[in-house]
Structure 1
């Protein structure tokens, strides 16, 4: 391994440690607790070292969000493929499996979900965006495609994504009865993406 390759690996390892630590603090105490001083104390890097890798806390949050989008895309892909596997419980309904996995992802990692969807971000979405958010959207779209019929697939995907996000946001803020989460997901999926006739 050459010097440049070793240096690049070390820099990537430091960046990863910074984002992992920020994410862990945020999950325990909320994003307000994530400061460069706190990160510096937790990982024993000076603040200038942190700023060498990230120009601001917003850059750190955006990096965490990108990691989250990659994880979400993988989780949705696994749910979609498992639902379509022969003999699986939900073999005929990948949309439902993906919607449940989406909600579980958000519930299991609320600070990560917040970084991805509700905190201010400078990440571009849509055309020319980072591939991570697009990959997660593509997995949701792929689960809907067999049920879309002649309907606009992009519009259905956007509507389902928005409905799931609203449901999760309301549920996270304790505005809905938690025992009805599964029934709400069923209702959203079946109303927005009914089986094509």
Structure 2
């Protein structure tokens, strides 16, 4: 490995350490408690050193947000390939989404504006695009498989996303009676009912 490659690798390691430190502070306190100074203290770096990697706190949090959606997309893609049946793919992807939220609570909060820290709307929409695109693609394939029409595939995608996100959010703040497993069951039932409603509407 040459000097240039080694320096770039070290830079990436430091960058990741900064992001990990920000996430750790959020877990311990909250996203609003994350500051450049605290992140620097966490990894024993000065504030100016952290600024060499991120222009400000928002840039740091946006990098975490983007990483979160990339990881979520990968999890949903892996779930999708387990079956050739599009309805099964939809439920497998929903479960992957759920698992991601459960195991990455603080990151999920940041990704969906629940951490109390407003982030740039355009950057957020760009980060979420591929997750929505994958969901929409599977919904369209499902509709073709069951021979129905979805006049507004994006709207259908947003409905499925709202079902997932709504129940996940309630579960994360302990607002679902009997806890996480019942909340997951409700999520699966909600999606099942919505798919059935689209099919029945086509037949009526």
TM-score grouping bracket, smaller chain normalisation: 0.7 to 0.9
Residues 37-96 of structure 1: per-residue CA shift (max 9 Å, x gap): 2211211111001112112111111110100000000001111111x15xxxx8851111
- After TM superposition, the score normalised by the length of structure 1 is 0.83
Relative distance call for 1:56 and 1:125 in structure 2 (3 A) is closer
Structure 1: 5+ residue stretches without partners: none
Aligned partner of 1:134 among 129, 150, 174:
129
Correspondence 1:189 to 2:185: no
Q: CA deviation at 1:159?
A: 0.9
Map of 1:49 onto structure 2: 49
Once residues 28 and 139 of structure 1 are traced to their aligned partners in structure 2, the CA distance between those partners, rounded to angstroms, is: 33
Name stretches of at least 5 consecutive residues in structure 2 with no aligned partner.
none
Query: How far has the Cα of 1:115 moved from its partner?
Result: 1.1
Q: Does the 8 A contact of 1:98 with 1:143 survive in 2?
A: no
Larger RCO (CA under 8 A, 6+ residues apart): 1
- Alpha-carbon deviations, 1:98-151, whole Å to 9, x = none? 11211121111111001111141115268xx53x42221122223323323311
Residues 79 and 97, structure 1, Cα contact 8 Å, conserved in 2: yes
User: 3-state DSSP class of the match of 2:81?
Assistant: helix
Between Structure 1 and Structure 2, how many residues are aligned? Answer: 189
Would you say 1:104 and 2:71 are equivalent positions?
A: no
- Measured on the aligned residues, the alpha-carbon RMSD in Å equals 2.4
